[in-house]
């Protein structure tokens, strides 16, 4: 049974000196040397050595995370940009070879085989890291990190002037929910044109990233970056062929429902074709849902929702608010998107998002809150790798929280009609995530198995895959905008091949949701117990602990989509 987390527990340094500054290389390097010079003389001593390694790596990673968070919170601050860039170009490249040397020291320890069974997952991770490491890739990865920051800066600076006022692009999402179609079209066109204004810079940036990634893969001995990325992402339990089968499963099991959703939307809107600016508006012409004003009201409401899921989780969310571990409102200069970052030394999460007062912001904060609960559940774990699960399960934590909290939307919606509307729109978004994940994932498979492709070939490949899963949205007259839609997907630039995880996890989360519909207390208990495992178990075992099966084939997907469709029918509007 999951127990309460001690949120105020401190984790004082034991190996790293309390005064050591993890932003200064001359204070970091001697600590690596001390660990490398050590010769653990027993399995127990090797365990203690691994904990010391974890402590050092956690301290370094927290310094990196702190600078990254500061930079993304204000991308137009030169000092924050400099501090982050210094760390990823001057400190991280020096850490990598020494961290690899620690991996090798562990792998050659005579006491490795005698460690308790709990270290088996860690052993596999270390062996995989060591096999992938090449000194010659370190400067390539450093350059990649620098280019990623350029993407953050470029997109964070994008604003438009609409109705006499400057808006960030996330803030413009509100206007896509307006009932006046002309307003929606104007807003959509303005954002699309703004993105197109930087098309050349974004394409050039991506070309450079592709070249770097291909060189990294070749240096590590892989035929292409896809093969390298699957190993780097520790995808021990599935491979590229499973992903391709998932694309086909979406085609067969999900797209028919997507087409019905779009056809019903088109009918209710009374439009000749469904245009990209018609996808967020209420099809019955009701005014947009505006559940809150400002990040503080959002945070207070989500805390109440989470507390109704489980009082202990509500207490944890209140801790995040009290400790200033949330940055929720959109503003000029803030990087796009949302994330949860872990401060590994203090063992606390930080949530970043761009809230603008729309219904979808509720799910975003619940989503990132699920990640935060996952991190907190395993904060007592001394091994840093075990404080994080594989991303396929990390997203079960986040998507599962969205679904577990959904019955408590009345915190924000007192009107039953608004409540039903929000609940149905949330389920529609669950359905629609599958074709979008398939789109991005299929595009990445093409990108990284067609080395040396031209921009024209890339454009054609994007349009082919986008139209395969696009379910008939009409972009006629906006072909340039359609061809550049992938520029907005930051994962393609920042975390290549990290996207299929959302679909795998959504299938896991839907199994948690299905269980909760039958026995809510049992589903929440299993959810929290699985989170408390952190990364100590292989991926299939983590899913099993949550009461789900690790499978993302049509066999598992089809019945879940059918149950979603049935539930959506019960929430259908009368008109």
pLDDT digits (tens, 9 = 90+) for 374-385: 999 999 999 999
Taking the C-alpha atoms of residue 191 and residue 485, their distance in angstroms, rounded to an integer, is 11
Q: Cβ(274)–Cβ(266) under 8 Å?
A: yes
Q: What is the pTM of this model?
A: 0.91
User: Residue 514 domain-assigned?
Assistant: no
pLDDT at 574: 65
> Stretch 561-571: mean pLDDT, rounded?
94
Counted domains in the chain: 1
Q: Is 45 helix (H, G, I), strand (E, B) or coil?
A: helix
Taking the C-alpha atoms of residue 481 and residue 193, their distance in angstroms, rounded to an integer, is 8
User: Residue 534 domain-assigned?
Assistant: no
Give the neighbor-by-neighbor strand order of the sheet with 326-329.
326-329, 348-355, 339-343
pLDDT grade for 362, boundaries at 50, 70 and 90: very high
561 half-sphere exposure, CB direction, 13 A CA radius: 25
| pLDDT surpassing 70 at residue 1 | no
Q: What is the mean pLDDT of the chain?
A: 95
Per-residue pLDDT tens over the stretch 101-131: 999 999 999 999 999 999 999 999 999 999 9
| pLDDT surpassing 60 at residue 575 | no
Burial state string for 418-434 with b = 16 or more CB within 10 A and e = fewer than 16? bbbbbbbbbbbebbbeb
Among 151, 192, 157, 201, which residue's Cα sits nearest to residue 172? 192
pLDDT grade for 420, boundaries at 50, 70 and 90: very high
User: Residue 136 domain-assigned?
Assistant: yes
Q: Which whole-number Å values give the CA distances from 194 to 50, 487, 492, 525, in the listed order?
A: 50, 12, 19, 47
> What residues make up the domain containing 72?
25-148
User: Residue 45 domain-assigned?
Assistant: yes
pLDDT grade for 133, boundaries at 50, 70 and 90: very high
User: Residue 215 domain-assigned?
Assistant: no
Contacts of 97 (CB under 8 A, 6+ apart): 133, 135, 138
| pLDDT surpassing 90 at residue 389 | yes
SS (H, E, C) 271-324: CCCCCHHHCCCCCCCCCCCCCCCCHHHHHHHHHHHHHHHCHHHHHHHHHHHHCC
What is the 8-class DSSP label of residue 335? Answer: P
Residues comprising the chain, all counted:
575
Q: Cβ(506)–Cβ(395) under 8 Å?
A: yes
Q: What percent of the chain has pLDDT over 90?
A: 93
> Stretch 169-175: mean pLDDT, rounded?
90
User: Residue 138 domain-assigned?
Assistant: yes
User: Residue 34 domain-assigned?
Assistant: yes
Among 306, 320, 486, 321, which residue's Cα sits nearest to residue 400? 306
| pLDDT surpassing 80 at residue 519 | yes
Q: Which whole-number Å values give the CA distances from 275 to 185, 197, 287, 479, in the listed order?
A: 9, 22, 19, 12
pLDDT grade for 156, boundaries at 50, 70 and 90: confident
User: Residue 18 domain-assigned?
Assistant: no
| pLDDT surpassing 70 at residue 74 | yes
Per-residue pLDDT tens over the stretch 442-496: 999 999 999 999 999 999 999 999 999 988 899 999 999 999 999 999 999 999 9
């Amino acid at each position: 049974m999951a127990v309460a987390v001690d949120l105020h527990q401190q984790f004082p340094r034991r190996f790293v000196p309390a005064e050591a500054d993890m932003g200064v290389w001359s204070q970091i390097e001697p600590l690596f040397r001390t660990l490398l010079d050590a010769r653990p003389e027993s399995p127990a001593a090797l365990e203690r050595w691994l904990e010391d390694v974890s402590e050092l790596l956690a301290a370094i990673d927290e310094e990196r995370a702190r600078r990254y968070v500061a930079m993304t919170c204000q991308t137009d601050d030169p000092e924050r940009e400099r501090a982050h860039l210094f760390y990823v170009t001057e400190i991280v490249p020096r850490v990598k070879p020494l961290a690899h040397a620690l991996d090798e020291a562990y792998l050659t320890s005579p006491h490795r085989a005698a460690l308790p069974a709990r270290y088996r997952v860690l052993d596999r991770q270390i062996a995989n890291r060591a096999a992938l490491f090449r000194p010659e890739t370190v400067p390539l990865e450093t350059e990649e990190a620098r280019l990623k920051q350029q993407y953050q800066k470029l997109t964070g600076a994008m604003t438009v002037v609409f109705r006499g006022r400057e808006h960030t692009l996330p803030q413009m999402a509100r206007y896509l929910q307006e009932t006046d179609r002309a307003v929606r079209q104007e807003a959509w066109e303005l954002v699309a044109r703004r993105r197109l204004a930087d098309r050349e810079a974004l394409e050039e940036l991506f070309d450079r990233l592709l070249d770097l990634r291909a060189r990294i893969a070749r240096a590590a001995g892989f035929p292409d970056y896809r093969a390298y990325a699957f190993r780097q992402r520790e995808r021990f339990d599935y491979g590229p062929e499973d992903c391709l089968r998932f694309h086909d499963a979406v085609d067969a099991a999900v797209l028919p429902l997507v087409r019905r959703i779009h056809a019903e939307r088109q009918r209710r809107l009374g439009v000749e074709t469904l245009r990209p600016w018609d996808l967020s508006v209420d099809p019955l012409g009701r005014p947009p849902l505006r559940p809150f004003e400002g990040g503080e009201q959002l945070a207070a409401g989500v805390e109440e929702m989470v507390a109704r899921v489980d009082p202990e989780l509500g207490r944890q969310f209140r801790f995040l608010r009290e400790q200033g571990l949330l940055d929720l409102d959109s503003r000029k200069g803030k990087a796009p998107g949302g994330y949860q970052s872990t401060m590994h030394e203090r063992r606390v999460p930080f949530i970043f998002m761009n809230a603008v007062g729309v219904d979808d912001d509720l799910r975003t904060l619940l989503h990132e809150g699920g990640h935060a609960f996952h991190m907190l559940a395993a904060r007592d774990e001394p091994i840093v790798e075990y404080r994080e699960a594989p991303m396929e399960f990390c997203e079960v934590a986040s998507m599962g929280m969205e679904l577990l909290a959904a019955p408590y939307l009345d915190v924000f919606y007192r009107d039953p009609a608004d409540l039903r509307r929000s609940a149905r729109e949330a389920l529609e978004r669950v359905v629609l995530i599958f074709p979008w994940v398939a789109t991005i994932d299929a595009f990445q498979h093409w990108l990284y198995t067609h080395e040396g492709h031209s921009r024209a070939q890339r454009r054609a490949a994007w349009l082919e895959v986008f139209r395969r899963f696009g379910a008939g949205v009409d972009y006629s007259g906006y072909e340039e905008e359609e061809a550049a839609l992938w520029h907005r997907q930051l994962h393609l630039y920042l975390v290549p091949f990290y996207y299929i995880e959302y679909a795998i996890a959504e299938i896991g989360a839907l199994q948690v949701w299905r269980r909760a519909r039958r026995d809510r207390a049992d589903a929440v208990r299993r959810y929290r117990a699985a989170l408390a495992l952190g990364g100590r178990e292989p991926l299939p075992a983590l899913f099993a602990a949550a009461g789900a099966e690790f499978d993302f084939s049509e066999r598992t997907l089809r019945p879940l989509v059918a149950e979603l469709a049935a539930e959506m029918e019960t929430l259908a509007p009368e008109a």
